[in-house]
């Protein structure tokens, strides 16, 4: 009895528990945060909508269908006030998943805190602010790599003394795994990113050399943890070891506390399935073990996805279920009573050593290529990720990698959780967008226009002359400038960027023998169709809107090439107008649209309308996160087929595409 | 509608740069079915009547992979548009797989205003014509050149893996990037056809680019002094530094193109276009049917002569190659 109590007293403090949340409006999200905190969540994690992340106001044409959808819109200081209304900012630990517009959102946060009499020195939290992984995976970048790196360096230089408890950047490997990265790629690419950021600060001249160790100490990471949880746990230990080496050897940091690998986690979502979605909660729990078990490499903060991840947005109850999993592990189990339970395990030690060696080799290779920025611009890194993801999908398709409920053990009783599928997710009221559009117009009309103009002019001048962007941004925040205006000012000065798609040069491994015959049959069919058509079937794969989920489009494009299609794929964030123009100019036989952000009902009809207007008749298919009812709606409007994650057999999809082209050709010939 | 009338109508719509028509014409010339051949020839003949034979300017951008040809093409297209000229782009992609499939990646580097009717971009896979310009490229250029004032053709390749681009354009612009010493080697060794303009792109890499340009100029001067590799017209070969990324040197490059175009006489231009078509047709034939095929048809010199005469008499290169191919196969098949 006594012993037991003693153990309890020695328990470690649990990690910070968060839920990635935000939707509709600042006020609605504020209410959600309060409920979440009442449920025992200990930190906030703000999800912004895509217009806010890509620097557009709700009334911008590109924001159509996206306002308040996958996160909260924050367009000006008024929204930021509403978002944190009544929450004590000096006691909060706020994580913001914000990147290209990170300086702006931090500026708004500081401005609101100071209005409430909170000293900026007390603010705690994180702005994600890792643009490299945006180019490689996440897709909400705006500016060219050089300019982006300068903005990150500005934020680091500014916060190190002005907001000393803030993590100005959170280097992410999470999104790399979500784009298909292997554990070694995750290690190497994210550490190389950290090196690029620290080099930029070191060589930027804004921070004196003596303060570099302090800067190093403020760098934190955001990591992924997949279902191979032993290997993932080893990955965390490898991170710890490599970061210690880099900080010591490359940046000469002596203080052990500044060299510690501090990281937060969101566990893997890419592997969460649409079929038998209830199984996902079990995957989530196991993945959490990977980042919790080893005390020496334990996460500082954890957020978990929900069981219905592949269906659509989670409802509060879905998120609560995941939060409870964390709480049970932290408070019911005995996990926090022990020192590191793997110390001395030669199995773990050997695995970690192997990963450290492999990752280090990659880090050196990237260095030899001129660093991570160069390797982003040349398309090398993206290409490697696309290849890894293709290998992963092939292994699932061939059954080599087991996914329970998907390619094995598919027999199932009816799941009570998904009896009414379309109610098993959260939907955002479409009226939100209209209200936001009107509200932003009102905001602009009511503010002191002269003050806003002056602040914007000052901001531009600061960026042009290479000054730190933060002071001018904070002033602009106070002057009522909007998110779209802030970003437009920077777009004007530093320009915009389109990242390499990685698909053109991607090479695929040899197929497994059992998969080969299917692909060969498809190739033969395409060859035959080529003779019939007179030229090779040509497909346009298009990603309209602000949605950055490129995995599906990339893999469809690659596979189509593989079976013999000519493929045009222009990357993310193209407009419906561009898609139609490309389809016409390229003379494609079929169009494939990929949308995962939920804006399909706004965007697909636009494309259809325009094609009709231009007199183009080709079959169109749509893929992504499309709820069943919406799929029927789209089909009624003329979409030939709708695909969702459950359609994981790419060979079957290709077979459909070929037949759709063949059918369209014969109907045309008959006309 | 009879094929000839259909072709005449389509040609007229192409000439008025109606996008759907330009695309339809390009779809047609890519069509390899035997039954489409006469229609293609009719189209090409009809297109020939829409414009004066010396109309426009066709520029080829060629160079090693990844030097920024697509980015530069996009920048050039914008500059021409700013000058009020209409632009057609043909991006020739050599990267098709053995399966014949291809990922046409150049377009991703060229985002344009979709509402602009004065700009048209088409990707073309080489579809098995290993190492060479696509079968349809020659005709594709004719289509675009009927619709637009300036035609830009992007191809990858340098040195021995020459792409035949010089046969379908008036001006060849070789694009390289700083640090690609191999180009210098090719020029020194005389392996490479000397282009009309050399661009060192990625000039934003600083001194490196300027130095590469200086090295090139030096090497070219030495060649000239040795009586080799004259750019023609007695002027030294222009070597230019650009940054397609930062839009530096783009207007100067367009100035050079425009000056070169203005300098050639109509007769010279027509001669070049004619010789280009002859050479393209023979090269394509040789690539398809090999040395043996050439010999079967009487050898390269005889073939050049034959093609020359056929084109003068009004046949189209596409038709000539197809006809030669059939005759060659028939001869090969017939018992000796
Ligand atoms: C991986 C992932 C990411 C990665 C994306 C990496 C990348 N470069 O693609 C990262 C981590 C970056 C990411 C970020 C975000 N994500 Co996310 N993400 C996912 C996840 C887990 C898997 C998607 C995926 O890649 N699957 C693998 C590919 C191969 O499958 P697929 O795209 O579905 O394609 C298949 C079919 O759909 C179909 N298909 C798809 N496209 C096409 C096209 C054609 C022509 C054809 C024929 C077929 C076809 O065929 C494919 C083969 O099976 C999903 C949930 C899930 N499990 O599905 C959430 C999900 C899509 N994400 C979501 C959200 C909200 C976001 C964010 C917007 C969050 C935020 N507020 O910031 C961000 C921002 C991203 C952005 N810029 O838009 C939501 C979307 C909600 C909605 N629709 O209502 C989802 C559903 C998660 C959730 N439940 O909340 N995400
Ligand atoms: N720094 C710099 N990068 C450039 C410049 N021009 C192009 N790039 C980059 O170089 C890479 C290749 O550019 P592309 O335009 O695709 O080159 P390409 O020659 O068309 O490539 P292929 O068609 O694959 O042979 C991209 O990452 C471009 O962003 C430039 O002037 N400066
Ligand atoms: Mg290119």
Which tens digits make up the pLDDT trace of A40-78?
998 899 999 999 999 999 999 999 999 999 999 999 999
Distance between CA atoms of B273 and B168, rounded to whole angstroms? 7
- Tell me which of B13, B29, B101 to substitute to probe the interface with A (most A C-beta atoms closer than 10 Å): B101
Do B169 and B275 lie in one domain? The reply is no
Domains defined for chain A, CATH in brackets: 2-423 (3.20.20.240), 513-670 (3.40.50.280)
Instruction: Check residue B317 and give its pLDDT.
Output: 87
Task: Mention every residue, 6+ apart, whose C-beta is less than 8 A from residue B226.
Answer: none
Q: How confident is the model at residue A432 (pLDDT cuts 50, 70, 90)?
A: very high
What residues pair up with B150 in beta bridges, in sequence order? B57, B87
Query: What's the confidence (pLDDT) of residue B336?
Result: 58
Look at ligand 2, atom 10, and give the residue with the nearest C-alpha: B68
B19, B100: one domain: no
Tokens representing A308 are 């219905």
Catalytic machinery residues of A? 20, 174-175, 543, 547, 549
Best residue among A552, A556, A599 to mutate for probing ligand 1's pocket (most ligand atoms within 8 Å of CB) is: A552
Do B167 and B212 fall within a single domain? yes
- Do B190 and B231 lie in one domain? The reply is yes
d(CA A331, CA A229): 21
For atom 30 of ligand 2, the residue with the nearest CA is B202
A179-193, A384-398, A427-441, B155-169 — which is least confidently predicted? Answer: B155-169
b/e per residue, A466-501, with b = 16+ CB within 10 A? eebbbbbbbbbbbbbbbbbbbbbbbeebbeebbbbb
Window 111-170 of A, Cβ < 8 Å to B? 144
With a cut of 80, say whether residue A227 has pLDDT above it: yes
B contacts of A504 (beta carbons < 8 Å):
95, 103-105, 108
Same domain, B240 and B131: yes
Q: Are B201 and B283 members of one domain?
A: no
The reply to whether B258 and B306 lie within a common domain is no
- Considering B231, B264, B297, which residue would you say is the last residue of a domain? B264
Same domain, B31 and B82: no
Q: How far is the CA of B66 from the centre of ligand 2 (A)?
A: 5
pLDDT at B184 over 80: no
Q: Cα separation of B239 and B110, whole Å?
A: 24
Give me the mean pLDDT over the A282-292 stretch: 97
Distance in Å, CA B181 to ligand 2 centroid: 18
Written as six digits, the tokens of A106 are 């931090």
Last residue of a domain, one of B234, B264, B294: B264
Give the whole-number percent of chain A exceeding pLDDT 70.
98
- Average pLDDT in chain B: 87
Is B197 in contact with B260 (CB distance < 8 Å)?
yes
On whether any CB of chain B is under 8 Å from the CB of A221, the answer is no
Mark whether B185 and B62 lie in a shared domain.
Answer: yes
Distance CA(A10)–CA(A3), nearest Å, equals: 11
The pLDDT score that the predictor gives to residue A94 is: 94
Residue pLDDT, tens place only, A173-213: 999 999 999 999 999 999 999 999 999 999 999 999 999 99
**Nearest atom of ligand 2 to the alpha carbon of B108:** 16
Give the distance (Å) from ligand 3 centre to CA of residue B93: 8
Residue B86 forms contact with A (CB below 8 Å): no
| Same-domain check for residues B35 and B18 | yes
> At B231, is the pLDDT very low, low, confident or very high (cuts 50, 70, 90)?
very low
Q: What is the pLDDT of residues A108-146, one digit of tens each?
A: 999 999 999 999 999 999 999 999 999 999 999 999 999
Task: Give how many domains chain B has, as a whole number.
Answer: 3
A213 versus B182: the higher-pLDDT residue is A213
pLDDT for position B216: 85
Rounded to a whole number of angstroms, the distance from the CA of B110 to the nearest CA of chain A is 9
pLDDT tens digits, one per residue of B247-277: 999 999 999 999 999 999 999 999 999 999 9
In the predicted structure, residue A421 carries a pLDDT above the cut 90: no
pLDDT confidence tier of residue B131, bands split at 50, 70 and 90:
very low
Checking if the pLDDT of A25 tops 50, the result is yes
Tokens 């590109």 belong to A62
Cross-chain Cβ contact B24/A587 below 8 Å: yes
Contact A505 B95 (CB under 8 A): yes
8 Å CB contact of A534 and B125: no
pLDDT of residue B233: 46
Cα gap A581→A616, rounded to integer Å: 10
Residue whose Cα lies nearest atom 61 of ligand 1: it is: A596
Residues 525-544 of chain A whose Cβ lies under 8 A from any Cβ of chain B: 526-527, 530-531, 533-536
pLDDT at B129: 55
Asked if A622 contacts A640 with a C-beta cutoff of 8 angstroms, the reply is no
A264 CB near ligand 2 (under 6 Å): no
Q: Is B70 in the pocket of ligand 2 (CB under 6 A)?
A: yes
d(CA A212, CA B89): 50
- Tell me, what's the pLDDT at A8? 57
pLDDT value at residue A326: 97
- pLDDT band at residue A9 using 50, 70 and 90 as cut-offs: low
Q: How far is the CA of A320 from the centre of ligand 2 (A)?
A: 47
Which one of B50, B70, B86 terminates a domain?
B50
Decide if pLDDT at B223 tops 80.
Answer: no
A218 within 8 A of A201, measured Cβ to Cβ: no
Q: How far apart are CA A181 and CA A179, in angstroms?
A: 6
DSSP B148: -
Q: Are residues B246 and B282 in the same domain?
A: no
Residue A564's nearest CA partner among A658, A472, A634 is A658
Tokens of B267: 């007769």
Give exposure, A432-447, as e/b (b: 16+ Cβ within 10 Å).
bbeebbebbeebbeeb
- Residue B154: strand, helix, or coil: strand
User: What is the percentage of chain B residues whose pLDDT exceeds 90?
Assistant: 52
**Beta-carbon-side half-sphere exposure of residue B332 (alpha carbons within 13 Å):** 15
Q: B51-81, pLDDT tens digit by residue?
A: 999 999 999 999 888 999 999 999 999 999 9
Residue nearest to atom 72 of ligand 1 (CA): A47
User: Is the minimum CB–CB distance between B20 and chain A shorter than 8 Å?
Assistant: yes
- CATH code for the domain of B182: 3.40.50.300
Q: Which residues on A lie below 8 Å from B66 (Cβ)? A: 378-379
Burial A353-383 (b: 16+ CB within 10 A, else e): eebbebbbebbeebeeeeebbebbbebbbbb
| Beta-bridge partners for A170 | A220
Whether residues B258 and B270 fall in one domain: no
Lowest mean pLDDT across A168-177, A274-283, A431-440, A516-525: A516-525
Q: CA-CA distances (angstroms) from residue B1 to B10, B26, B37, B38?
A: 12, 20, 17, 14
Return the pLDDT at A424: 80
Residues of B in contact with A557 (CB under 8 A): 103
pLDDT of residue A479 exceeding 70, the answer is yes
Collapse the DSSP code of A220 into the 3-class scheme (helix H, G, I; strand E, B; otherwise coil) and give the result: strand
For residue B32, what is the nearest residue in chain A, using CA coordinates? A534
Query: In terms of DSSP bridges, do strands A538-542 and A20-21 run parallel, antiparallel, or are they unpaired?
Result: unpaired
**Strand A124-127 relative to strand A93-96: parallel, antiparallel, unpaired?**
parallel
Full domain range(s) for residue B143: 57-264
Nearest protein CA to atom 75 of ligand 1, as residue: A548
Q: What is the pLDDT, as a whole number, of residue A671?
A: 46
Residue (of A574, A227, A264, A142) closest to B112 by Cα position: A574
Distance CA B132, CA A620 (A): 33
What is the DSSP annotation of A499-518? Answer: ---S-TT---PPPPHHHHHH
Q: How far is the CA of A136 from the centre of ligand 1 (A)?
A: 15
Mean of the per-residue pLDDT values of chain A = 95
CB A567 within 8 A of CB A561: yes
Q: How confident is the model at residue B228 (pLDDT cuts 50, 70, 90)?
A: low
Whether A232 contacts A183, CB under 8 Å: yes
In the DSSP assignment, the letter for residue B133 is -
Q: What is the pLDDT of residues A565-599, one digit of tens each?
A: 999 999 999 999 999 999 999 999 999 999 999 99
């Amino acid at each position: 009895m006594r012993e037991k109590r003693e153990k309890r007293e020695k328990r470690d403090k649990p990690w910070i528990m968060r839920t990635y949340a935000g939707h509709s409006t600042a006020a609605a999200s504020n209410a959600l945060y309060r409920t979440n905190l009442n449920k025992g969540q200990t930190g906030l994690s703000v999800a912004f909508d895509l217009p806010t992340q890509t620097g557009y106001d709700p009334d911008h044409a590109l924001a159509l269908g996206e306002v308040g959808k996958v996160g909260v819109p924050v367009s000006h200081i008024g929204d930021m006030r509403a978002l944190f209304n009544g929450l004590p900012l000096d006691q909060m630990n706020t994580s913001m998943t914000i990147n290209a517009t990170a300086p702006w959102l931090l500026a708004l946060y500081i401005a609101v805190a100071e209005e409430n009499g909170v000293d900026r020195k007390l603010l705690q939290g994180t702005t994600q602010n890792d643009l490299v992984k945006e180019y490689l995976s996440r897709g909400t970048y705006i500016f060219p790599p050089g300019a982006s790196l300068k903005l990150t360096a500005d934020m680091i230089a500014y916060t190190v003394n002005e907001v000393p408890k803030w993590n100005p950047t959170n280097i992410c490997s999470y999104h790399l795994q979500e784009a298909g990265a292997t554990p070694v790629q995750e290690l190497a690419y994210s550490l190389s990113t950290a090196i690029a950021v620290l080099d930029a600060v070191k060589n930027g001249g804004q921070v004196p050399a003596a303060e570099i160790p302090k800067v190093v100490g403020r760098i934190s990471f955001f990591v992924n943890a997949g279902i191979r949880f032993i290997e993932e746990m080893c990955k965390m230990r490898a991170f710890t070891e490599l970061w210690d080496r880099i900080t010591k050897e490359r940046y000469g940091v002596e203080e052990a506390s500044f060299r510690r690998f501090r990281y937060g986690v969101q566990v893997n979502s890419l592997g969460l399935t649409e079929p038998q979605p209830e199984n996902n909660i079990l995957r989530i729990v196991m993945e959490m073990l990977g980042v919790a078990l080893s005390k020496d490499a334990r996460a500082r903060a954890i957020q978990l996805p929900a069981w219905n991840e592949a269906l659509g947005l989670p409802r509060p109850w879905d998120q609560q279920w995941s939060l409870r999993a964390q709480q049970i592990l932290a408070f019911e189990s005995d996990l926090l009573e022990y020192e590191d339970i793997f110390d001395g395990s030669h199995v773990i030690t050997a695995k970690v050593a192997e990963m450290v060696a492999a990752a280090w080799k990659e880090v050196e290779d990237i260095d030899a290529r001129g660093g991570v920025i160069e390797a982003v611009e040349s398309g090398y890194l993206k290409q490697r990720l696309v290849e890894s993801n293709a290998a992963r999908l092939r292994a699932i398709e061939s059954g080599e990698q087991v996914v329970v409920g998907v390619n094995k053990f598919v027999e199932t009783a009816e799941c009570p959780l998904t009896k009414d599928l379309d109610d098993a997710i959260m939907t955002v009221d479409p009226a939100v967008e209209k209200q936001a559009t009107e509200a932003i117009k009102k905001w602009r009309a009511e503010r002191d226009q002269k003050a806003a103009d002056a602040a914007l002019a000052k901001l531009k001048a600061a960026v042009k002359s290479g000054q730190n962007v933060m002071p001018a941004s904070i002033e602009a925040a106070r002057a009522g400038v909007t998110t779209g205006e802030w970003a437009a000012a920077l777009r004007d000065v530093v320009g915009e960027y389109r990242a390499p798609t990685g698909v053109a040069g991607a090479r695929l491994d040899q197929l497994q023998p059992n998969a080969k015959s299917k692909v060969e049959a498809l190739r033969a069919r395409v060859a035959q169709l080529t003779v019939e058509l007179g030229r090779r079937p040509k497909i346009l794969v298009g990603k309209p809107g602000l949605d950055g989920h490129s995995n599906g489009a990339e893999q469809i494009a690659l596979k189509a090439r593989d079976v013999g299609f000519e493929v045009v794929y222009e990357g993310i964030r193209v407009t419906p107008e561009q898609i139609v123009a490309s389809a016409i100019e390229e003379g494609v036989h079929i169009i494939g649209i990929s949308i995962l952000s939920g804006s399909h009902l706004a965007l697909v009809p636009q494309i259809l309308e325009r094609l009709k207007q231009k007199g183009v008749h080709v079959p169109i298919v749509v893929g992504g996160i499309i709820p069943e009812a919406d799929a029927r709606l789209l089909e009624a409007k003329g979409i030939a087929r709708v695909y969702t994650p459950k359609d994981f057999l790419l060979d079957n999809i290709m077979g459909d595409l070929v037949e759709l082209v063949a059918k369209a050709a014969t109907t045309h010939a008959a006309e | 509608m009879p094929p000839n009338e259909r072709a005449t109508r389509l040609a007229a719509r192409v000439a008025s740069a109606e996008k759907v028509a330009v695309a339809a014409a390009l779809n047609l010339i890519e069509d390899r079915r035997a039954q489409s051949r006469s229609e293609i020839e009719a189209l090409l003949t009809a297109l020939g009547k829409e414009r004066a034979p010396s109309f426009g300017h066709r520029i080829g951008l060629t160079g090693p992979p990844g030097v920024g040809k697509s980015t530069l093409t996009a920048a050039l297209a914008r500059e021409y548009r700013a000058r009020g000229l209409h632009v057609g782009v043909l991006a020739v992609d050599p990267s098709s797989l053995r399966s014949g499939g291809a990922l046409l990646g150049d377009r991703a580097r060229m985002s344009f205003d979709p509402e602009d009717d004065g700009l048209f971009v088409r990707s073309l896979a080489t579809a098995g014509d290993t190492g060479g310009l696509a079968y349809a490229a020659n005709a594709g250029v004719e289509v675009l050149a009927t619709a637009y004032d300036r035609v830009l053709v992007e191809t990858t390749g340098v040195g021995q893996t020459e792409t035949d681009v010089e046969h379908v354009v008036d001006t060849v612009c070789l694009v390289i990037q700083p640090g690609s010493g191999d180009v210098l080697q090719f020029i020194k060794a005389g392996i490479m056809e000397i282009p009309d303009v050399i661009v060192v792109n990625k000039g934003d890499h600083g001194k490196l680019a300027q130095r590469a340009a200086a090295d090139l100029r030096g090497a070219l001067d030495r060649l000239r002094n040795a009586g080799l590799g004259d750019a023609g017209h007695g002027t030294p070969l222009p070597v230019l530094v650009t940054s397609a990324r930062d839009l530096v040197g783009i207007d100067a490059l367009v100035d050079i193109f425009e000056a070169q175009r203005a300098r050639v006489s109509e007769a010279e231009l027509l001669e070049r276009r004619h010789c280009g078509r002859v050479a393209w047709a023979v090269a394509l034939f040789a690539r398809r049917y090999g040395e043996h095929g050439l010999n079967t048809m009487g050898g390269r010199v005889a073939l050049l002569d034959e093609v020359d005469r056929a084109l003068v008499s009004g046949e189209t290169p596409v038709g000539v190659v197809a006809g030669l191919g059939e005759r060659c196969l028939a001869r090969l098949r017939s018992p000796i």
